Homo-oligomer: A and B are copies of this chain.
Amino acid sequence: MDMINILTVFILAIFVGNEIITKVPPTLHTPLMSGSNAISGIAIVGAIISTKVGGELGTWLGMVAVIFATINCVGGFMVTNRMLKMFKRK
């Protein structure tokens, strides 16, 4: 994978990230933050990879990273879901 291509992807992704959020009602600020925070748990992919690639130390660091990232993902999506449930009309 060459550098330029990756850069292209990175830049386009930033553009997409910039554009998809336009107007968000204040009540959704926290859930949106929480949801996108869960997505930043994508670090789990890196964590998984590093358990293998990183040798002994890497494996253990990776293991901790996996735990951390999983907390982020699982907790994040679940908390978001709970918050959003409140929006259901009683």
The interface of chain A, by Cβ under 8 A from chain B, is 1-2, 5-6, 8-9, 12-13, 15-16, 19-20, 22
Contact = CB atoms under 8 A, between A and B. Distances in A.
The quantity of this chain's copies bound in the complex is 2
A interface majority secondary structure: helix
A15 B16 CA distance: 7
Contact of A16 (B2, B6, B12, B22): B12
A1 B9 CA distance: 13
18 contacts: A1-B2, A1-B5, A5-B5, A5-B6, A5-B9, A8-B9, A9-B9, A9-B12, A12-B12, A12-B13, A12-B15, A12-B16, A15-B16, A16-B16, A16-B19, A19-B19, A19-B20, A22-B22
Nearest to A13: B12
Given A1-B2, A15-B16, A16-B16, 6 more contacts: A5-B9, A8-B9, A9-B9, A12-B15, A16-B19, A19-B19
